[in-house]
Structures are given as structure tokens and as C-alpha cells.
């Protein structure tokens, strides 16, 4: 999968190079997901891979569904901030993760296989939108 692997590899070497200590380790606190802490302790904090992936995914989904771009961008931003709130990352880790996600998004634009997949996704979404129109299904909240 171009998105998953691209998001992972884009941060992996920087994490290994910097091996920045995570906030929850430095301050001896727990995170929002204590079951992940043993793994996180061994992995560098900078840059945030979750944020890079969340940013990348928000940008790709916005490209597929431009009418939902604002809410997708907000959700991508919130996803990164959750990493700070939970103590898994410093704010600068998240900021760098956003840059990495944006650069990876730009790189994907140059890959024909990605463009082909994106066109297929757009077509599938258009087909589904035609089936689930607002008029026919008022119970669906399209503004979320």
C-alpha cells in the first residue's frame, strides 16, 4: 500500500537517527494507551509517524472528496494534536510529522500508480454518492 508504506518509511530513518525521548518517558507519566508504552519507549519520538500518516491520509482523502476537505483537514490536525495531548509526542514532533506527511503527499502525486488508484477511488465515491443522494436519504448527515 503506497500510503501506509510511504508514511512509515518517510519517518523511520529520522526516528532512528534522532531517537528523541518521548514526553511520557521523560516525565514518567502514562499515555492514553498504556498498552503501547513498551513499544513506544524503544521508538524515537521525532518526527511523529502517526501525524505524518494522518496528514497524508487527510490530504489524499481531500483530493478524493474536495467537498469535504475542510473537515478532513481538521480531523488530520486533531489526530496529530492527540499525540501531544496523550504524551506520546512533543509539539515539535507533531509539527515535523505534518511536514513529512505533506512532502509524502507531494511525492505521491508523481507516481502513476497512485494517480490511477485515486481516479478509481473518485469514481467509486461518485457512484456511491449517486446512490446515496441527500434527497433520497435525509437521515444521513452530510455536514459532519
Any idea which residues carry the catalytic annotation? 50, 83, 89, 93
C-alpha 109/C-alpha 102 separation (Å) is: 11
C-alpha 45/C-alpha 25 separation (Å) is: 10
Half-sphere exposure of 86 (CA within 13 A, CB side): 19
Whether 29 contacts 23, CB under 8 Å: yes
Q: Three-state secondary structure along 58-111?
A: HHHHHHHCHHHHHHHHHHHHHHHHHHHHCCCCCHHHHHHHHHHHHHHHHHHCCC
Which triple of cell numbers denotes residue 77? 490536525
Amino acid at each position: 500500500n503506497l500510503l501506509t508504506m510511504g508514511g512509515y518509511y518517510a519517518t523511520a530513518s529520522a526516528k532512528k537517527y534522532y531517537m528523541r525521548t518521548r514526553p511520557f518517558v521523560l516525565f514518567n507519566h502514562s499515555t492514553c494507551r498504556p498498552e503501547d508504552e513498551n513499544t513506544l519507549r524503544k521508538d524515537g519520538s521525532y518526527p511523529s509517524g502517526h501525524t505524518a500518516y494522518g496528514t497524508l491520509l487527510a490530504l489524499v482523502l481531500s483530493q478524493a472528496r474536495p467537498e469535504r476537505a475542510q473537515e478532513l483537514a481538521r480531523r488530520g490536525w486533531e489526530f496529530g494534536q492527540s499525540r501531544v495531548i496523550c504524551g506520546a509526542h512533543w509539539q515539535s514532533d507533531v509539527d515535523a510529522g505534518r511536514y513529512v506527511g505533506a512532502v509524502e503527499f507531494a511525492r505521491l502525486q508523481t507516481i502513476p500508480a497512485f494517480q490511477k488508484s485515486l481516479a478509481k477511488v473518485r469514481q467509486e465515491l461518485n457512484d456511491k454518492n449517486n446512490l446515496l443522494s441527500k434527497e433520497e436519504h435525509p437521515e444521513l448527515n452530510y455536514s459532519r
